[in-house]
Amino acid sequence: MTVSDGSDKKVALVRESVTLQELVDGLNALGIGPRDLISILQAIKAAGALQAEIEVI
Kindly state whether residue 5 falls inside one of the protein's structural domains: no
Long-range contacts formed by 43-48: CB under 8 A, 24+ apart: none
The answer to whether the pTM exceeds 0.95 is: no
Kindly state whether residue 1 falls inside one of the protein's structural domains: no
Kindly state whether residue 25 falls inside one of the protein's structural domains: yes
Give the domain extent around 46.
17-57
Phi, psi values for residue 37, rounded to 5°: -60, -45
Kindly state whether residue 3 falls inside one of the protein's structural domains: no
What span, in angstroms and rounded, lies between the C-alpha atoms of 27 and 23?
6
pLDDT in tens, 1-47: 545 556 666 666 666 778 889 889 989 998 999 999 999 999 988 99
Kindly state whether residue 7 falls inside one of the protein's structural domains: no
What span, in angstroms and rounded, lies between the C-alpha atoms of 17 and 7?
29
Q: What is the domain count for the chain?
A: 1
